[in-house]
A and B are shown apart, each in its own frame.
Chain A
C-alpha cells in the first residue's frame, strides 16, 4: 500500500494542472466567496429630475448616491437614463408625490432600492421598470444564455480539438492538402452553429416558459451573441493548444469557466464586489455579454448605450481568438519537436 501511495504522490507531483487545482482552487473559492459572494447592496446611484430636483436630492437618504440632478428633466428622460443603465434608479419630482423609478434588470440592486424606499416612510412612489415583479428568472435567463454559449464554446470546442491531438489525427490533418484556415474554421464552425442554435432555443424557451420579455432589437442581440461566441470559441481553441488530452482540457476549462460564473455579475452583483475582485470580472467576456443580454432583452437598450460592451468583446476577439488561432496554426505548421517523437500519443 505504501508503494501505491508513493506512486500516486510521484504522479501527482508531475501533474502540474491537478496540483494547481488542488492548491489554487481552494484559494480562489475562499477569496471569491469571502469577498465577491455578496448579495447586499450598500448604495445605489440615482438621478433626480423635475422641478425642485435640487432640494429633493438633498433630502434623499444616504443609501441613494445622487449622481445627476436635472430640474428640466421628466419621466421620459429618467426612463431613458435607466434604459441606458446610466443610473440604478431615478427620482421624478412631481407636484404632490415623488416617483422613484427602479431598474428591475439589476435584481439585487432593485430589491435593495425598493426596501430602502419603503423604509423612507412612503415619501417615494416606487415603480420598478423592466422587471415589475422582480422575477429572478427574467434576470437569470439572459445570463444562462451566455453561460450555455460559454460552456459549448469553451469546454466542448476544446474537447473536440484536443481529441484530434489525442488520437493522433491532428498529424494527419497537418499533412493533408488542407490550409490551416480550412482546418481551424472547419473545426470551430460546427460548434459555432450548435451554440448559436442552443442560444436561440434558450431565448425562445425562456420567453415561453418564464415569460422573459424581449424588449430590444433581435438583430442587435444576435450580433452580440455571435461576437461573444467567437470570443469563447477562442478560449476553447486556446485551451486545446495547451492541453495534450481531454482530461487536461477539462481541467483548464474549469479555470476559465468558473470565474465567469462567479465574477461576471450573473449571480453576484458586480457593484457589490470590492475592486480587488471586481476587476477580474471586467476581464471576463461573460460580463459584457450579460450586460448586452439584460440591456436588450429587459430594458430594450440600443447600440447607443451598449456599444462599449460590443467594443470590448470585439477587442477580445482579436486578442483571444486571434492569439488562439495563431497558436493552433503553429501546431499545424512544420516545427522542431520539443521532445523526442518516436511515438505519437495513442488514444485511450
Chain B
C-alpha cells in the first residue's frame, strides 16, 4: 500500500507553486512535509487528496472513501456539537450504526473529548478542535490519512496528545502524510520532505538529513556573517557554505546538531544558489 505523487507540478497563474515534487507514503509510516510559509506544503496535500488538479505529474491515492483529510482549519462544523460532527462524518462515510458507535466512543475517549461530546465545536479550544478534526479524519479507518498542519496553534499538551493519536493511526497500518511548521515534530516522522519555494530541497529520514547537508555549521560566540546565523536556545549557530569557518571555528558534530539546524542550512543554501543564479 503506497501512495504519493511523482514529478508533481502545479502552476498558479503562470507561477510555479510546486515543481517536480516526489512524495511516497507507505502504509504504517508517517511522512512529514516541512517548509516555510508559501513553500507549497498545503498545495501538495491538496493535490494528494484530489482538491487540486496538477499541471503535470501523477498522483497515487486511494478512492475517496479510503482517504481521511484534516484541513488546516481542522474541518469541524462549529455550529454542531462534537458528537454531531462525528456523527455526520460517520454517515457520510456510510459506517454502520454499530461501527459508528464503537469507533466514535473509542476515538473520542482516546482524544479526551468524550466529556465534551455535547459541546459545540465552535466553543472548543484550538487544541480540542484540532483533536476533533483528527478524530473525524480517522473515524472511518482510512488507508491514507492526510493532515494539514494538525498541530499549528495547538498548546504543547494537546500537541503531545495529537501526536499520540497520529502514531497510533500509523501503527494500525495507515499511511500518514502531514505538514508541519514545527521541525522538532517533523523529526518524529519516518520520512521528511523539505519544501522550499515549491521544490523539494531534501528528503529522507531525520538521521539521513542530519548527516548530509551542504557546508558546515559552527557555534560561534559572535556570528561573522549575521545573514547566515541564527539562535538556538542561548547559543548561536552559523552556517558556512564552503565548509570552513572564517574565524577557524570547528564545525559541530552531527550529535550536536538538531534537525532544525540542518533545515536552516539547506534553506540558506537555496537562497545562496538563487542569488548566484540571478546574478548577471
Q: How far, in Å, is B154 (CB) from chain A's closest CB?
A: 14
CB <8 Å contact, B52 and A175: no
> Does B13 make an interface contact (CB < 8 A)?
yes
Nearest A-chain residue to B36, judged by Cβ:
A342
Q: Are A168 and B17 in contact (CB under 8 A)?
A: no
Please give, as numbers and ranges, the residues of chain A lying within 8 Å of B13 by CB-CB distance.
338-339
Is B12 among interface residues, defined by CB-CB distance under 8 A?
A: yes
CB distance from B193 to the nearest CB of A (A): 15
Once A167-B73, A168-B73 are accepted as A-B contacts, the answer to whether A340 and B17 lie under 8 Å apart by CB is: yes
User: From residue A161, how far is it (CB to closest CB) to chain B in Å?
Assistant: 13
Pair count A-B, CB < 8 A: 92
A152-180 interface code vs B (CB 8 A; 1 in, 0 out) = 00000000000000011101101111100
* Separation of A23 and B39 alpha carbons in the complex (Å): 40
Chain B residue numbers with a CB within 8 Å of A276 are: none
Contact status of A177 and B65, CB under 8 A, knowing A334-B51, A336-B11, A337-B43: yes
Contacts of B104 in A (CB 8 A): none
What is the minimal beta-carbon distance from B41 to any residue of chain A, in angstroms? 6
Is the CB–CB distance between B69 and A340 below 8 Å?
Answer: no
List of B residues within 8 angstroms of A59 by Cβ: none
Whether A176 lies near B52 (C-beta < 8 A) is: no
Say if the beta carbon of A16 comes within 8 Å of chain B: no
The distance in angstroms between the C-alpha atoms of A342 and B55, with both chains bound, is 17
Interface flags for A314-348 (1: CB within 8 Å of B; 0: not) read 00000000000000000000111111111111110
CB-based contact B51/A176 at 8 Å: no
A344 and B133 alpha carbons, distance in the complex (Å): 15
The segment from B75-83, B184-192, B225-233, B257-265 found at the interface with A is B75-83
Which B residues are CB-close (under 8 A) to A178? 92
Interface of A is mostly: loop
Q: Given A334-B52, A339-B13 in contact, is the A344-B65 Cβ separation under 8 Å?
A: no
User: Distance (Å) between the CB of A334 and the closest chain B CB?
Assistant: 4
Interface size on B, residues (CB 8 A): 38
Look across to chain B and name the residue whose beta carbon is closest to the beta carbon of A332.
B51
- Judged by DSSP, the binding face of B is loop
Which of B41, B63, B74, B136 contacts A342 (CB under 8 A)? Answer: B41
Q: Is the CB of A171 within 8 A of B12?
A: no
Let me know if B77 and A167 touch, CB within 8 A: yes
**Chain A: CB-nearest residue to B74:** A168
A168–B42 Cα gap in the complex (Å)?
A: 13
B52 lies within 8 A of A341 (CB): yes
Assembly CA distance A182 to B55 (angstroms): 28
Chain A residue nearest to B12 (CB atoms) is A337
Chain B minimum-CB-distance residue to A178: B92
Report the separation of the CA atoms of residues A339 and B10 in the bound assembly, to the nearest whole angstrom: 11
Task: Assess the B75–A168 pair: CB atoms within 8 A.
Answer: yes
Q: Contact flags (1/0) for B41-77 with A, using CB distance below 8 Å?
A: 1110010011111010000000111010101111111
User: Which residues of chain B have C-beta atoms less than 8 A from A338's C-beta?
Assistant: 12-13
Interface membership of B93, Cβ < 8 A: yes
Q: In the complex the two chains form, what is the Cα distance from A341 to B78 in whole Å?
A: 22
**A172 near B69: Cβ-Cβ < 8 Å:** yes
In the complex the two chains form, is B72's CB within 8 Å of A168's CB?
yes
Complex CA gap A336/B9 in Å reads 11
The residue in chain B whose Cβ has the minimal distance to the Cβ of A173 is B92
CB atoms of A343 and B42 under 8 A apart:
yes
Interface string of B15-50 (1 = CB under 8 A from A): 001000000000000000000011111110010011
CA distance A345 to B148 in the complex (A): 13
CA distance in complex: A347, B133 (Å): 15
The distance from the CB of A123 to the nearest CB of chain B, in whole angstroms, is 66
Interface string of A292-326 (1 = CB under 8 A from B): 00000000000000000000000000000000000
Question: Of residues A168, A172, A340, A344, which shows the largest number of chain B Cβ atoms within 10 Å of its Cβ?
Answer: A172
Distance between Cα atoms of A152 and B117 in the complex (Å): 31
On whether the beta carbons of A337 and B52 are closer than 8 Å, the reply is: yes
Contact of B67 among A167, A169, A175, A346 (CB under 8 A): A175
Contact A169 B77 (CB under 8 A): yes
The distance from the CB of A270 to the nearest CB of chain B, in whole angstroms, is: 41
User: Cβ of B46 and Cβ of A341 under 8 Å apart?
Assistant: yes
Query: In the docked arrangement, what's the CA distance between A25 and B171, Å?
Result: 60
**A342/B42 contact (C-beta < 8 A), A172-B71, A336-B10 known:** yes
Cβ of B268 within 8 Å of any chain A Cβ, yes or no, is: no
B residues near A344, Cβ cutoff 8 Å: 42, 71-73, 148
B210 at the A interface (CB under 8 A): no
> In the bound complex, do residue B69 and residue A341 qualify as a contact, i.e. CB atoms below 8 Å apart?
no
Asked if B52 contacts A172 (CB within 8 A), the reply is: no
CA distance A316 to B10 in the complex (A): 38
Asked if B78 and A334 make an inter-chain contact with CB atoms under 8 angstroms apart, the answer reads no
In the complex, are the beta carbons of B52 and A347 less than 8 A apart? no
- A129 and B26 CA atoms in complex are apart in Å by 79
In Å, the complex CA distance between A336 and B50 comes to 11
List 14 other contacts, CB 8 Å, given A337-B17, A343-B72: A167-B73, A168-B75, A176-B64, A177-B65, A336-B10, A336-B11, A336-B52, A337-B10, A339-B12, A340-B12, A341-B17, A341-B46, A342-B37, A347-B73
15 pairs, CB–CB < 8 Å, chain A vs chain B: A168-B73, A168-B74, A171-B73, A172-B71, A175-B50, A175-B51, A178-B92, A334-B50, A335-B52, A337-B10, A337-B43, A338-B13, A341-B52, A344-B42, A344-B73
Q: Which A residues form the contact surface with B (CB < 8 A)?
A: 167-169, 171-172, 174-178, 334-347
A-binding residues in B (CB < 8 A) = 10-13, 17, 37-43, 46, 49-53, 55, 63-65, 67, 69, 71-78, 89, 92-94, 136, 148
